[in-house]
A and B are shown apart, each in its own frame.
Chain A
Amino acid sequence: MARDVLWMFLKCFGNAAIVLLVAPLCHGVMRRITARIQSRQGPPLLQPYMDLLKLLGKEDIESGESPVMQRLAAYLAMSSALVVACLVPMGVASPMSRAADVIVLIYLLALCGICTLFAGLAAGSTYSLIGISREMMTMIALEPLLVIALVIGAIHMRSFQLDRVLGGSVYAIGGVPWSGLIILVVMIFAFQAFVQRVPFDTAEAETEIMEGPLMEYSGPKLALFKYAQMCRLVIHCALFVSLFVPFGSTLPFPFGWLVFWMKIFVLILAVTLVAATHARYRIDQAIRYFAAMMVVAFGALVLASFGM
């Protein structure tokens, strides 16, 4: 028993460590590819690591309306991201599948959004308040999509257990898994919003509201927030892969693991391409878009409950 627990901790640690290690690299890849699309050379692949180090080494300035909340929001952002990382399979089975189920996962993902809310409230400026109002609107419209996807998986598996749901569960019925395919399409169209990239980066929108909730952040706290955002990109990709593209993940250790990370890489590539070729949507346009997605997703949920 004690050995199991130790083993679980080690695996959790491994998951968090690999997300922390890979996330800036993914960001570097994104920046490089974006640069190439824009006829630029782009920064070195390792630039995000340097940027984070630089920010971490800067003076820790207390600013905004309530500096304590601002600090807590940064810590919370990072820690919630890392906890989620422990719940999601990262090339190997989820290490904490016995300790939590998908409901916990959903709440923890929501917590990531709540951090932005705290950050914006702590700054207290008009622009950050606009930013959080946009963030909340997006969250309310977006989170249900993920919930529906997970619930469809859970219905098919008749279980909320993490390792059972996060293994391509959406297709796990006999015949053509209509509900799974529909929710797959919905998630593909909504994925850009989950990772908060253009055209759905309305909550930060530098050229409109000056990074909104993040505007008062600087130095180490900004590093934490940025790092957490990079991690969330990887985590969302991993979630997507686990739910919708499980193929090949069951191969023996090095191969299955490699295939998993290849898929993540492809997904990041796609995100980058979309981000570099689109203009930002206005918040009302974005919400209308999400609403349409939601209607379709509900349809998929109904199908799933009828076993289709």
Chain B
Amino acid sequence: MIARERLNQFREKFGDAIERADLTGETRVFIFVRPSALKPICQHVSQELGARYVISIGADDRPYSGKFLIAHDFAFDRVDLLCSVLAYVPPQNPTVESISGVVPAANWAEREIMDMVGIKMLGHPYPKRLVVPDGWPDGVYPLRKDFAWNQAPQGFDDEREFKFDDPPEGCVVVPFGPFHPTLDEPAHFRLYVEGEMVRGCEYRGFMVHRGIEKLAESVLSYNDIPVMAERICGICGCVHSVTYAQAVESATGLEVPPRAQYIRTIMLEIERLHSHLLWVGLAGHVLGFDTLFMQAFRIRERIMWMAEKITGNRKTYGLCVVGGVRRDITPELKDELVDVLDTLQTEWRAVVGAVLKDRNIQKRTSGVGIADAALVKQAGLIGPMARAAGVEIDCRRDHPYAAYNKIEFEVVTERGGDVWSRLLVRAKEVFQSIRIIRQCLEKMERGPIEEKIADLLPVGRIGLSSVEAPRGECHHFIITGENNRPRRWRVRAPTYQNLQGVPMMIKDQSLSDMTIALASIDPCFSCTDRLETIDLISGVKRVWSPGIENLIGCKKG
């Protein structure tokens, strides 16, 4: 009853600043506090109780409660508890005290709330525009309910330019991106370079933001969203659909059949396999070692085929729905998967053996892009980034979901906190994933794979869900709503936090190391930006895109 304990502690310490508290199960606690108490409570949770900051969410709750809602999510990793500190903010001129001063990891999330919902964060250390495009008019907030999903804002100014900070003295500005051979997606780093050394940078991203959360809140229905969620990311789509489905399930108390849990676990691990193999290959490419790239991709290809055989697709599996999964794993597929895993294990062992002995790669990656345990804590870094710095966090073990509590596996950690350590962590995690899938295939019992939803889902409940994506914890926050769709759905992809650590990682390093340091977080800008890769040929585009394009003011062609 750790949730109850924590709640009692809060009550003792903060007394009537806590207006209401919800305990939904043993692993979730929602504390509604007075807006003025947000900052001290978050400070207490983060600094004294040592909770890990996850994300902040702003929501327009005016149609329901007449107020705005703000939530700060924290995770107590050791004791499997997700905690949300919420506050209702008055509708007129909504302001609340910023927590970024005491919880630096909240920097971006709070800026996003300012941009998208228009809740002012008083005392934010760097209240610069983050998400909305350069020409977006001030005072227009796309995530407010009175802003229609297909509305084009008045006064969008194409000519308006983003004002970057001045570079430090003696530094030259080197633009890195939006287009660069090692960036697979657009993002802009404005590097301040002195000779060959990077002294600092400013980030301007969110170039492919297409309002996916807004769509979900206003157009889609509960079981449309998993398919949409899957398209948030180009690599770990399944992660997003599972996280979303679990958030809804946890909010509404839906039970998912065991077999579906196992199938979800298997697909999540297959996704981790192909993602890690892809990463090792890309890291090789960035270092100019194309042989590693080609071999990693060759080995990866059979996993992609396997994914296609199981789900019908190489990537966007369309597998997970609220309440279960859509496809079963047949005995034939099981045998073939076992075979693929055996081959993978042998081949990967050879590759890892070669890489470990390669002094050349070590020279390029050791001591590069260091994120030590202190930075991990400060910026809220997660996944292989944290584990490579010796911070042992892994949602699969810390907040078990799907079938992970029935599976044995190790959490791989390293000490160095540099690119080399991250390489080792990812390379070794591949073996753990193989182990997990094998166990799942063995233990999986027969049974239904989907819980049919008989009634309308309850309204106004909050769900949290964390899934260990290949890049780190993927967290979704959801408030259930009317019309068979959520009121608010907030996606926190792992790169959203990890990217905030990059400026510190590349500081005072050679420009040549910039690419590999950035690549080492395995950045997924589409996740961070929450882009929607709508197929241009299919009819889907005609349904949504014209509105969306106007919405964010991007020009076609």
Contact = CB atoms under 8 A, between A and B. Distances in A.
A279 B512 contact: no
A208 B512 contact: yes
A279 B288 contact: yes
B227 interface: no
Contact of A207 (B182, B292, B294): B182
B290 A283 contact: no
Contacts of A276: 290-291
Interface stretch (B89-97, B172-180, B265-273, B461-469): B172-180
Contacts of B358: 279
Interface stretch (B75-83, B360-368, B409-417, B441-449): B360-368
Contacts of A68: none
B180 A39 contact: no
A285 B174 contact: no
A38 B364 contact: no
- Greatest chain B CB density within 10 A among A127, A199, A208 is at A208
Interface stretch (B66-74, B279-287, B397-405): B279-287
A207 B285 contact: yes
A40 interface: yes
A210 B180 contact: yes
A280 B196 contact: no
Contacts of A284: 196, 510
A278 interface: yes
Contact of A280 (B174, B288, B293, B294): B288
B363 A281 contact: yes
B295 interface: yes
A34 B285 CA distance: 14
B295 A39 contact: yes
Contacts, number: 79
Contact of B298 (A39, A210, A278, A282): A39
Given A201-B288, A282-B364, A126 B174 contact: yes
A162 to B, nearest CB: 36
Interface string B162-189: 0000000000111100001110000000
Contact of B364 (A37, A133, A209, A279): A279
B290 A208 contact: no
Contacts of B181: 206-207, 210
Given A38-B294, A126-B174, A280 B364 contact: yes
A18 B285 CA distance: 34
Given A206-B181, A278-B360, A199 B288 contact: yes
Interface in B415-469: none
Contacts of A280: 287-289, 364
Interface in A3-32: none
Nearest to B290: A38
Contacts of A37: 291
B196 A130 contact: yes
Interface in B34-63: none
Interface in A257-308: 276-285
Interface in A105-146: 126-127, 130, 133
A202 interface: yes
A205 interface: yes
Given A126-B172, A199-B288, A199-B360, A282 B294 contact: no
A277 B291 contact: yes
Contacts of B182: 207-208
Given A207-B286, A281-B364, A130 B511 contact: yes
A205 B287 contact: no
Interface in B186-240: 196
B510 A279 contact: no
Nearest to B174: A126
B194 to A, nearest CB: 12
B294 A205 contact: no
Contacts of B292: 279
B178 to A, nearest CB: 13
A224 interface: no
Nearest to B362: A279
Contact of B288 (A133, A207, A210): A207
A282 B513 contact: yes
A285 B510 CA distance: 11
Given A39-B295, A278-B289, A126 B512 contact: no
B146 to A, nearest CB: 45
Contacts of A150: none
Given A39-B294, A207-B286, A283 B512 contact: yes
Contacts of B175: 126
Contacts of B498: none
B275 interface: no
A282 B197 CA distance: 12
A279 B361 contact: yes
Contacts of B100: none
B497 interface: no
5 contacts: A198-B288, A199-B360, A208-B511, A208-B512, A276-B290
Instruction: Across the A-B interface, give the 5 residue pairs with the lowest CB-CB distance, nearest first.
Output: A280-B288, A38-B294, A279-B289, A279-B287, A282-B512
